[in-house]
Structure 1
Amino acid sequence: MKHLLSLLILFFVLNVAFASNNNETLKPGDEDYLAIAETMPEPAAGLPALMKKINYPNMARKAGIEGKVIAMVYVGDNGDVEDVKIIKGLEAGCSEEVERVLRDSKFKPGVNQGKAVKVKMAMAFQFKLQ
């Protein structure tokens, strides 16, 4: 891989369904997005293609920064990324790189009962130097 760096993308979904019962934990507009759908959104080109878009920031590489960035991705019913919020970030440009790639990506929309739906999901990106 470029610059002998390895990026492992761990794709998982946080179950935030409990938030729908507690309006104090909801942010404006969150109630419009499902936390779980029968078919969850996925990158249109697949996870490997998404992984290839992420560049390890030079500043992070030089500083030896490794770790995980977790982002909440809000995917519309048309597959467009409508918002990205960093839940757990890293310094030296790693969080910004994840946000950039996600905002520029297209997803296959989530599906519930045969209908495309808006879904919020967490995605984790592992930055690891080799």
Structure 2
Amino acid sequence: MCSAPLDNDQQAEDARYSVMIEAERKLFATKPRTVTDVRALAEIAFRDPDSIPGADLIGSVLNGLRDLDDNAPSPTFDPEQWLVLYERCGGGWVRPAGRELTLCAPVPASDGIQASLWELETRGGREQVLRLIEEREAERIAA
């Protein structure tokens, strides 16, 4: 009978942990409005020096910074290099008749595709990549 308090303590601890996880999920889904907001996200994501946060937390911090930078694409993003890697991993694009260009990937997506798409979103490079594809298609038609 001595284990009953321990079980209750464990249940209470599990409940507190679940509430904390849900609060963090909501916080990282919220668009930051100030540098202070982004700093708070970074401090939460990187609170343990012995642990690397997940891609979703890192992405939230990077996207928060990009939002505050007027959604400017990253100065380190190279659309040509990105597109080469994306195609090597099996990615491509389609343009349904009369519609916009759409990036596509095999299902299930490989780690390389997932990493490429994460980079595209966190670096704000989608428009650059689509513009590059448009230019290549125009050159191919003109040739």
Give the TM-score taking structure 1 as reference length: 0.29
Structure with more relative contact order (C-alpha pairs < 8 Å, separation 6 or more): 1
Q: Give 1 or 2: higher helix fraction.
A: 2
TM-score by length of structure 2 reads 0.27
Task: Give 1 or 2 for the bigger CA radius of gyration.
Answer: 2
